[in-house]
Every structure is written in C-alpha cells, then in structure tokens.
A = this chain, B = another copy of it.
C-alpha cells in the first residue's frame, strides 16, 4: 500500500534516515497523512495541527511541505494520536485519528499502541507487517474547522534587546525576555 508518492518500503527507509529508526508511530503517521490528502481538495495551501509531539510530527515533515521551523506545522499536545490538515485561509480541513475500537483485528498494533505488550516483547517485524496491511483502516476521519485563535497567525512586533541578558527578543513578550521573566533553563558551567 503506497504512502503519498512512496511505496511502503521507500517510506520505511526515509523514516529510518530522518527519524533515526523505523518507528511504528511514524509509519502509522504516514498512512494518516496519506488519508488526509485523499479527502482534501487537490488545490489549496494546507497547514497541519498535530495533537502529539511523539513520532507523528516526523511523518508530517516527511510527507508535506509543513515543518516545525517554517511554521506550517503546529503541535498542540492533547495526548491523542491525531492530526488535522486544514486550508490555511479558511481553517476547514480533515482530522485523522487512531481508532482504538478498530484494532481488534491487529493484535501487534493494538499491543504497541495501547502499551499492552511491553517493548521487549513486541515483534517488530510482525508489527510492521500489520501496519502495512492495516493501512488507513484503523483510523477515524471527520471534517472539522480549526478554531480561529489557532489558525489565524498574529503579526509579530518589533525586536528589542533585553536589558537583563542583552539578547534580542520580540518586544510583545514583555519588558524583559521570556527567559529573564522565568526560571533559568540552564546554569553556566564555567
């Protein structure tokens, strides 16, 4: 079963190179992205909302023009394995989610996804075969409209120098930068 312009095995190889290993979450994510595009208009500019930071963002970054750094991929962690691909001018799109109720036919996927099988006991090869065979049959899909506060991007204001740390930061963040407003993230080592 193909994933966008890749065969399944080509996609496995791309995941290995980018993500470091062929994680089941990214492979499943590939089919989620693929299914979303099949339900979107051919024309249009689309952004992605990813509901988990685990694995799924890498499927998005490998298969769409949306990356973390270019701002077209947003992660809002709801803890659910789901993504929304939506028209960036209207917020209209489709949400694809893992559907636990559809996993009974796929014991390895179910065992991995619901953490019923401890990692050392998972059969990696069988899990990959099930993911390929299941394809998009284990997802739910629905049409949604993203909340305005998420998809309407704010224009950012001026850049100024923080009087405390002397680094540049967006003035909209406050009278000193966010780092100097909060707890330190790190200590000096020497």
Q: Is A178 at the interface (CB under 8 A from chain B)?
A: yes
Q: Is A70 at the interface (CB under 8 A from chain B)?
A: yes
Given contacts A144-B186, A145-B189, A189-B92, contact A58 B80 (CB under 8 A): no
Q: Is the pair A100, B168 in contact by a Cβ cutoff of 8 Å? A: yes
Given contacts A69-B55, A159-B114, contact A177 B147 (CB under 8 A): no
Q: Is A54 at the interface (CB under 8 A from chain B)?
A: yes
Centre residue among A54, A80, A92 by max chain B CB count within 10 A: A80
Centre residue among A69, A114, A169, A178 by max chain B CB count within 10 A: A69
Q: How many chain A residues touch the partner (CB < 8 A)?
A: 72
- The smallest beta-carbon distance between A66 and chain B, in angstroms, is 9
Which residue of chain B has the shortest Cβ distance to A79 in the bound complex? B169
- The smallest beta-carbon distance between A21 and chain B, in angstroms, is 8
Rounded to whole angstroms, the CA-CA distance of A56 and B143 in the bound complex is 33
- When distances are taken between beta carbons in the complex, the residues of chain B under 8 Å from A188 are 142-145
Q: Is A44 at the interface (CB under 8 A from chain B)?
A: no
- When distances are taken between beta carbons in the complex, the residues of chain B under 8 Å from A49 are 185-186
Given contacts A78-B178, A100-B168, contact A159 B113 (CB under 8 A): yes
Q: Is the pair A98, B168 in contact by a Cβ cutoff of 8 Å? A: yes
20 examples of A-B residue contacts, CB within 8 angstroms: A18-B61, A25-B69, A51-B185, A53-B68, A53-B71, A56-B69, A58-B70, A61-B68, A79-B178, A80-B169, A84-B186, A98-B168, A99-B167, A100-B161, A100-B167, A101-B166, A143-B189, A144-B187, A145-B186, A146-B186
